[in-house]
Amino acid sequence: MRRHVLAAAFGLACGLGAAQAQEPISLRAMGSFHVGGKLVEISGRQVKDVVFTPGGTPARVDPNGTYQTGQMYVQYFLPQNERGSVPLLLWHGGGMTGVNYETTPDGRQGWLEFFLRKGWAVYNSDAVERGRSGWAMYPDVIPGEPLFLTTANPFERFRIGAAGGYDADAGKRRYLPGSQFPAEGYDNFVKQIVPRWTSTDQMIIDAYIAEVDRVCPCVISFHSQSGQFGFKVAQARPDKVKALIAVEPAGIGDPAKAAALKDIPVLMVFGDYIEQDSRWPAIRRTATDFGDKITAAGGSVEVVNLPAVGIKGNSHMLMMDKNNLAVAQLIQDWLAKKGLYR
């Protein structure tokens, strides 16, 4: 394959200073593909004449027919000097896309670039009905309707700011003491938020299984909502998954099938401020209880509460926090310890 050399730090926003510049990234390939999905027939819809461009000629649009639905977009970067023994798959959380792992909202290096520079082949995806994966008609194909988040919603729910601390005026926002979330990047962060459904879980799992079948054996790193996806996909394809990195998982796999994960090492990573939150102690307990079931079945599960190892101030969006690379290095060291890095 043709060798690609990126002369600037990968994915950095235009106009950033030379202080962040590093050695060029050498790739042997990069690209993208869609996986999964199925064809769905729609009928009974009204035929309409639509003007697509102001002043244009109306076109007859018949919405009845066959639609491609449930597909997932995946983008990949393959380093010239590959050191990860298998590819690394990055799966985002609810109401988000793969952009979470690209440049941070304040313009620093994201996890995608970090692991690529370490020599991992990285596959970054937009889950079904997010980003470049596209939508499907609802409620015809997707039951219910999408959920949308206000700009204030993640501030407290993602343990970025204090209860009631959000203000439209950025200068008046009250962040948690010692918070590592980049305050100057919050307004840019909320631009990443996309609509999501609560009724597409199986569609997403099916698409992730299709990605695993195409790409793996692999390591999967998953965040938040993708907790259940990461564990359930690994339970469905235990022979193809060499390690699981559960970054603040908000969901779990099937407890009755915990033994399916006994040969897959698992790392769970949790940030700061959990004890003082109304929801996160229960979320973490559910995840660690599931980890105990894997351990009881003969598996290996390591739980890292970052403040306990001296990495403090992390929000739910660990991959964006100012110390995001310290968290990434912790994951990198664990992968190396598991013999997955050469």
| Spatial distance between the Cα atoms of 252 and 232, rounded to a whole number of angstroms | 8
Half-sphere exposure of 268 (CA within 13 A, CB side): 26
Residue 280 CA, distance from chain mean position: 19
Mean pLDDT to the nearest integer, 151-163 = 96
Model confidence pLDDT, tens digit, residues 297-306 = 999 999 999 9
- Give the other-Cβ count within 10 Å of 77's Cβ: 24
- Among 99, 78, 103, 98, smallest CA distance to 88 is for 78
* Enclosing H/E stretch for 266: strand 266-270
Could you give the strand order of the β-sheet that contains 266-270, starting from the edge strand earlier in sequence? 4-6, 25-35, 72-79, 122-126, 88-91, 218-224, 241-249, 266-270, 301-305
- As beta bridge partners, residue 6 has 25
Share of the chain above pLDDT 70, in %: 94
pLDDT confidence bin for 21, thresholds 50/70/90: low
Could you tell me which residue, 83 or 4, shows the higher pLDDT? 83
Please report the pLDDT score of residue 45 as a whole number: 93
- Give me the residue label for tokens 């003007």: 51
Strand partners of residue 74? 33, 125
Report the SS3 class of residue 199: coil
Give the pLDDT score at 22: 85
Q: Quote the DSSP letter at residue 15.
A: T
Give one DSSP letter per residue of 42-92, joined into a string: E-SPPPEEE--STT---EEE---EEEEES-EEEEEEEESS--BSS-EEEE-
Cβ neighbours, 10 Å, residue 342: 9
Residue 17 pLDDT exceeds 50: no
Sign of the alpha-carbon dihedral angle for 81, 85, 86, 87: negative
Q: Considering only CA atoms, give the Rg of the chain.
A: 21
Element spanning 249, H or E: strand 241-249
Q: What pTM does this model have?
A: 0.92
338 near 243, Cβ under 8 Å?
Answer: yes
The pLDDT-based confidence of 59 (bands split at 50, 70, 90) is very high
Rounded CA gap, 17 and 5, in Å?
Answer: 20
Q: Give the confidence band of 19 by pLDDT, cuts at 50, 70, 90.
A: very low
User: In sequence order, which ranges of 201-273 are alpha helices (DSSP H)?
Assistant: 201-215, 226-236
Instruction: Find the mean pLDDT for residues 224-232.
Output: 98
Maximum CA pair distance of the chain? 68
The arithmetic mean of pLDDT across residues 142-155, rounded, is 95
Stretch 61-88: mean pLDDT, rounded?
Answer: 97
Q: Residue 239 corresponds to which tokens in the numbers above?
A: 């022979």
Q: Are 207 and 232 in contact (CB under 8 A)?
A: no
> Which of the 8 DSSP states describes residue 147?
B
- State the CB neighbour count (10 A cutoff) for residue 220: 29
Q: What sign does the dihedral 140-141-143-145 (CA atoms) show? A: negative
Structure tokens at 172: 């008046």
- Return d(Cα 70, Cα 155) in angstroms, integer: 30
Under the banding of pLDDT at 50, 70 and 90, the label for residue 6 is very low
Q: Do residues 36 and 128 touch, judged by C-beta distance below 8 A?
A: yes
